[in-house]
Amino acid sequence: MAAEQPGAAEGSVIESTPFVLKCPKGTRDYDPFQMAIRQRVFGIITTCFKRHGAVTISTPVFELKETLTGKYGEDSKLIYDLADQGGELLSLRYDLTVPFARYLAMNKIKQMKRFHIAQVYRRDNPAMTKGRFREFYQCDFDIAGDYDLMIPDSECLKLLHEILTDLKLGNFVIKVNHRKILDGLFAACGVPTDKFRAICSAVDKLDKTPWETVREEMIEKGLTGEVADAIGGYVQLSGGSDLIEKLQMDASLMKIKDAENGLNEMQLLFQYCEIMGITGQLSFDLSLARGLDYYTGVIFEAILKGDSSSPGSTVSVGSVSGGGRYDELVNMFDPKSGKVPCVGFSVGIERIFSIMEARAKEGALGDIRTSPTVVMVASAQKELVKERMKVSNMLWDAGIPAEMSYKKDPKFLNQIQFCEQHGIPLIVIVGADEKEKGGVKIREVNARREAESFVLLKDLVDEVKKRLT
């Protein structure tokens, strides 16, 4: 039914639209079970970051629009711009890398190893079933500083390997390439310098798009069919150290200084990764381009492999991490301060979570507890709420996660069921007889033991800690 808008011109009618209660497109809510899985994932990743000596920082969820402009190539159209609210043009952060570079430049920092776990925003076409959202978490690790060739780069690959191994996501491959090699082969094939980034963006689609479609895009961007075919002869190659050696024998490629330097650096990188024992999961893949404009050296991307018949299959998930070297980004913000070379990567938590959630539903992750509570303070008799409060307070003061019913005289069966529903392992029972003796009883709920042990209040904390370990 049409509704008249208050204050509208006489005779005008505005159609009312029924309000639909839902999450905005490309976002979702997470229930306690899902959050428990996410916290487990975050915990594993954070442990890996700290193992390598990284400190953590935090930056605002929005930046000056000018800070983000010109850093993402064709992906710049996915940046969320905000309405002017006080004289500053702002945008939601697209990733955590550009804000990190801004942070380094603004604070004149020349060296830092940092991680940052936070939400980013992209005005993309979401595919929720594939873990592609408009609001999502990234877990970033970066090493900033002027160090010797390929040492920080190899540590980043080692750390990424550790994360994917510790998460137990199944088989994976880390594709590696080098922007100098790409630029070198573009030059060797006759691509004009001003078209390098545009052609790089086209090549980056090869993991999802057939070569013929990518070839057509290159021609649309100004290349001849002959030049596009020459590029195709390179970018469909992949391998390991053998491919590096093969390309080093390519006379036309080695005439280009960028290609020669890039291949030498890639050879050194593989030597370091061999020492770290991770080359079995590395693939030198010339189709990897990483479309973002700020990359200058090594680039890499982690791809999950799997069997569609297995629980939590990774077949349709694809890339879960990407990164590389960006030596010029900090300097773009503060040209006078000198170059601050950086290398790092980002782990896309949403795609990993979609796998972990599927595995959890199959029982592959074991028991997932949604509550941190380990002790329920209960009573089977009335008028004992103050005693339950005293015992709960004792446990809280000792740092032990505990709960009690908010009803004055709760039913004992309801308290037991609460423990079972939330996976609470211990129940401390307050009773009139125990109160007179200066103690309580303890029952192990998760072991289904009906036997109750009497414990003096002065020994309760020690006894709880003993049973929990």
| Residue ranges of the binding site | 95-97, 122, 138, 142, 290, 294-295
Please, what is the Cα angle at 129 between 126 and 133, to 5 degrees?
A: 30
The Cα 467–Cα 469 span in angstroms is 5
Q: Write the DSSP assignment of 383-440 as a string of letters.
A: S-HHHHHHHHHHHHHTT--EEE-SSSS--HHHHHHHHHHHT--EEEEE-HHHHHHTEE
The Cα 373–Cα 355 span in angstroms is 27
Q: Does an H or E element contain 157, and which? A: helix 151-166
First to last CA, the chain: 64
CA 211 and chain centroid, separation = 30
The Cα 284–Cα 300 span in angstroms is 9
Q: Are 467 and 444 in contact (CB under 8 A)?
A: yes
Ramachandran area for residue 113 (φ above 0: left; ψ -120 to 50: alpha; else beta): beta
The residues facing 404 across adjacent strands are 377
Residue 318: which of 175, 106, 162 has the closest Cα?
175
The residues facing 81 across adjacent strands are 91
Q: Are 428 and 442 in contact (CB under 8 A)?
A: yes
The Cα 44–Cα 42 span in angstroms is 6
The Cα 319–Cα 317 span in angstroms is 7
Q: Which residues contact 134 (CB under 8 A, 6 or more apart)?
A: 24, 25, 26, 27, 121, 122, 123, 124, 126
User: How many Cβ atoms are within 10 Å of 191's Cβ, its own excluded?
Assistant: 24
Q: Which residues are annotated as a binding site for L-histidine?
A: 95-97, 122, 138, 142, 290, 294-295
The Cα 390–Cα 428 span in angstroms is 12
The Cα 243–Cα 389 span in angstroms is 69
Q: Which pair of tokens denotes residue 277?
A: 């024992």
